[in-house]
Amino acid sequence: MKHWAAFFKLIRYPNLIYIALTQFLLQYCVVEPVLRSEGEEPSLSVPLFVLLSISTVLIAAAGYIINDYFDINIDIVNKPDKMVLDKVISRRWAMAWHTFLNMAGVSLGFLVAWKTGQFYLGFTQVICSLLLWFYSTSFKRQAIIGNVVISILTALSVVVVGFYEKQIYQSFEAILSPIGRKLIQIIGVYALFAFLISMVREIVKDLEDMIGDSKDGCRTFPIVWGVLPTKRLCSALIFGLIGIILLVEVRVWILGWYIAIIYLIALVQLPSFYIYLLLKKANLPPEYHKVSSLVKWVMLTGILSMIFFKIYL
């Protein structure tokens, strides 16, 4: 039982639930209602969607394992009490699990792509797997590159569901159709939200982990450029996020989705501004950790806003 608890801790099961929840809400609260409002059916059947979601979750789990594998020296300094590798699970078993989960995730991805008649889409999962490997071994130790890569992967976990809709992959004419444009606009907004909020969280985590990162020779943004420029970059991303939410609220106001506006202001926009205020005052790792936790809350409330498409469409 102890080993299973350690395993689930290693693969960051709450984050995996976030990924699965995001894809579920996008498919059944956004994609399906939008298509059916135009008399269309989703390209992915329920079994194929479940397999695609499992594929994404497995690859993400493998990514968390390999990240911890290469971060042992950093974690000894930053979070010795939370370490699992070398304490409960050996490095050899970690690498075995990483290989198995990656192979299973990529295989399921190709199965879904083959079943939908678009075999090339399976390479999306291969690319994600490779990016997670290079992120753990190299990118995360470089200024900004690692943050951008992991944020792209976060956005990709949203976009990948849309890749399998014929209105997007079938032809250029399908993309330009009213329903194609609608899907791309909605998915694009959520992908951009996911990218920006992930960038904020990754940069805040770099601020939190500066001591251990510097001892391991990492060249993250706060180590290379300093704390104040890093906070300014993070603040710019937060205000960019708030600006996007404001534009969405204007659009939602035109549609008459007034409850959605109240939700966005109270649970996404105002907490984002509060994150900015907390970050401005933060100086110690526990304070940065508090900011990071609040960012995860905004990620969740942003994801849950997809429910309004199911209500109003």
Cα separations (Å) of 308 from 26, 28, 246, 255, 277?
11, 11, 16, 12, 29
Nearest to 61 by CA among 20, 100, 22, 12: 12
Reported as a single tens digit per residue, the pLDDT across 114-146 is 998 889 899 999 999 999 999 988 888 888 899
The model carries a pTM of 0.92
- Rounded CA-CA distance 128/65 in Å is 14
Q: Which residues pair with 142 in a beta bridge?
A: 219
Q: What is the pLDDT along the chain (313 residues), one digit of tens a residue?
A: 677 888 888 899 999 999 999 999 999 999 999 888 888 888 899 999 999 999 999 999 999 999 888 877 776 777 766 777 767 788 888 899 999 999 999 999 999 999 988 898 999 999 999 999 999 888 888 888 999 999 999 999 888 988 888 777 665 566 667 777 888 889 999 999 999 999 999 999 999 988 888 877 788 899 999 999 999 999 999 999 999 999 999 999 999 999 999 999 999 999 999 999 999 999 999 999 999 999 999 999 999 999 999 998 7
Distance CA 77, CA 44 (A): 45
Helices 178-208 and 145-163, packing angle to 10 deg: 150
- Structural domains in the chain (count): 1
**In this predicted structure, what is the pLDDT of residue 216?**
74
- Angle, CA of 111, 198 and 229, to the nearest 5°: 145
Q: Quick one: pLDDT at residue 174?
A: 62
User: Tokens representing 66?
Assistant: 């390999």
**What DSSP string runs through 15-60?**
HHHHHHHHHHHIIIIIIHHHHHHTT---SS-HHHHHHHHHHHHHHH
The pLDDT, as a whole number, for residue 173 is: 64
Q: Which domain holds residue 50?
A: 2-312
52-109, pLDDT tens digit by residue?
999 999 999 999 999 888 877 776 777 766 777 767 788 888 899 999 999 999 999 9
Q: For residue 153, which amino acid is it?
A: L
The Cα 290–Cα 286 span in angstroms is 6
